[in-house]
Every structure is written in structure tokens, then in C-alpha cells.
Amino acid sequence: MAMFKAIRIDKAEKGTSVALTQFDEAELMDGDVTVAVEWSTVNYKDGLAVTGKAPVVRRFPMIAGIDLAGTVTQSSHPDWKAGDKVICNGWGMGETHLGAYAERARVKGDWLVRLPDGLSARDAMAIGTAGYTAMLAVLALEKHGLTPKDGPVVVTGAAGGVGSIAIAVLSKLGHHVIASTGRMAEAPYLKDLGAAEVIDRSELSGPAKPLAKERWAGGIDSVGSTTLANLLSMTKYRGAIAACGLAAGMDLPSSVAPFILRGVCLYGIDSVMCPIELRKQAWGRLASDLDHGKLSEITQEINLDEVIAAGARVLEGQVRGRIVVKIL
């Protein structure tokens, strides 16, 4: 079996240790498809894993990375053959199953999505779990019945990965997007993505009232905690918020008032174990509803040996948009 480069996380006396090293292909976990990984990306969860700042990793040793795009090299799964271009994200990769920051990955064929026409492997990882999660949130709002004529939609954590893709998609679909950010210097960037308004996150960071003035018909939140509570209190009658993150914390200091007095809905967005048919729908919509020109503008490229430092920058809120990782 061959050796290949990988970012390996091991249990240490205090926390974890992480390093770019050589990994033996014989140590890959069970799976019926082997993929030559060409591109990956750096998400918030990846930052937590490589820095050890949260107990994301549940098996050691672990290869970090929750997203990959590449080419099948071997398969015993009936749906896949050598040469197929595939995407894999979630399913516990980088947490309980050896992940994507490596030149090789072995996974279950049932986890894979075929790379959609019109997307390159690099494009797919410029989108990554962050963008795929944003699209799942958009699909939830659409299923709720939200349309541009219903009023503005708000996006929190707007300059991050989820927020950037959410703004680009929602604006292309015709929505009036209000972007909330703690980095007001990024306002020109957010408006270039399609935001009609940019507000400071401080407007959403104070204690939430049970009900506040109605400001938006819907929203996508990657922040959680008090920010999400404020979003709910300011959502219009029969509006909806899709929640997909916890950058500010896991608590939700809210009340039942928005739900029982305004009929507001709160949709939980899970990207990790999302059913495969919904995954295919989301990736298909990303191929058609995301301006690839804007995607290239919000993307920066790094190599595998730069991932650990990039993960720390993501957690510190120093990264705008998306990072793609060139593996092969």
C-alpha cells in the first residue's frame, strides 16, 4: 500500500496534536469507494478540529477535513466506477471517519454526490459544506413558502462562508437581503455579493425582547445564541428563520412569543446526516443558482500545508468568504 500526505490529529496529554505527515493507505477505514482527493476547503468545524478548541474529533488518529471533491480510483459500489467525479461532505468525515485533508480517502458510496455539470471540483470546494448548508437553508425557506414579495431576508455572519454564499444565492433569486456583520469594513464586499443593506451585528447582540418591531420575513442564521433570539423576535407574522450555526454559542435565550403570537417558524439545518436526495437537490441548485463569477471573487486558494494556520484564522473571524485547499 502507498503512503500519502495527510493532516493527522492525535490524542495528546493535554488535548490533541496535529501535523501534516505521511499516512499509510492500509490504515484507511472501511468503505467501498476510494477517492483521489483533489480539492478540499476550510469550514468553521475544520477550524475547531485542527486547533483542538472543541471536541469535534471523536476517534484517534483522525485525518481532518469534512469536505472533499475528487476522482474515484477504486469502487465496489454499483453506482460508482473509476474515473467518476464526486463530492463528499459530512457523514462524520473528520470526526468519526477519516477525512478529507489527505491525498486519498475511502468512504461509503452511499455518501457520494456526483459532481454536477457546470461545476469543477475546485468550484465545489469553493462552495463546500458552508455553501451547501446555505443552500439547504434556502431550500427550507422556499419550502416554507417564502418569496421575494414577502419582504426582506436577513443573513447573519454575513462575511463568513455560509453568509457569503447565502447572500449571493438569495440576491440572485430576487430577495432583498439584509446582511448582518461584525466587520462593517466588509460592507462593500457584502454589497458586491448582492446585499441591499448592511447592519452591524450589535443591533442583534443585546438581550432579546419577547417581540420586537417586525423587520424581515425570513433569515439564515449561522451565529446562534442572542443573535438568533433577536432574529426571531423581529421576524414578521408567519415568517421563518433557518438556523445552521453556533458561532456565538449553543444557547437560545428566547421565548415562545414569536412562535405562538406571530406564527414564526424556526427551521433547523443539519448538513452532516442530511438525506442523499436532498443533498443532490442542494448541489444541483448550487450549480444553477450561484453566480460563478461571484464565487471566484470570494475564494482564496491555499495548499495542504497551510490548512492548520487557516483553521485558526477562520475561528478568529479573520477570513472573508471561502478558502479552497489544493490537495493534488
Q: What is the mean pLDDT of residues 54-60?
A: 93
1: pLDDT strictly greater than 80 = no
For the chain, domains (ranges, CATH) are 3-115+298-326 (3.90.180.10), 128-268 (3.40.50.720)
Q: What is the mean pLDDT of residues 298-305?
A: 95
Number of neighbours of residue 140 by Cβ within 10 angstroms = 22
- pLDDT tens, residue by residue, 242-274: 999 998 999 999 999 999 999 999 999 999 999
Q: Provide the mean pLDDT of the chain.
A: 96
- pLDDT tens, residue by residue, 164-186: 999 999 999 999 999 999 999 99
Q: Would you place residue 328 in the very low, low, confident or very high pLDDT band (cuts 50, 70, 90)?
A: confident
- pLDDT tens, residue by residue, 200-230: 999 999 999 999 999 999 999 999 999 999 9
The pLDDT assigned to 14 comes to 87
Share of the chain above pLDDT 70, in %: 100
Q: What is the mean pLDDT of residues 6-16?
A: 94
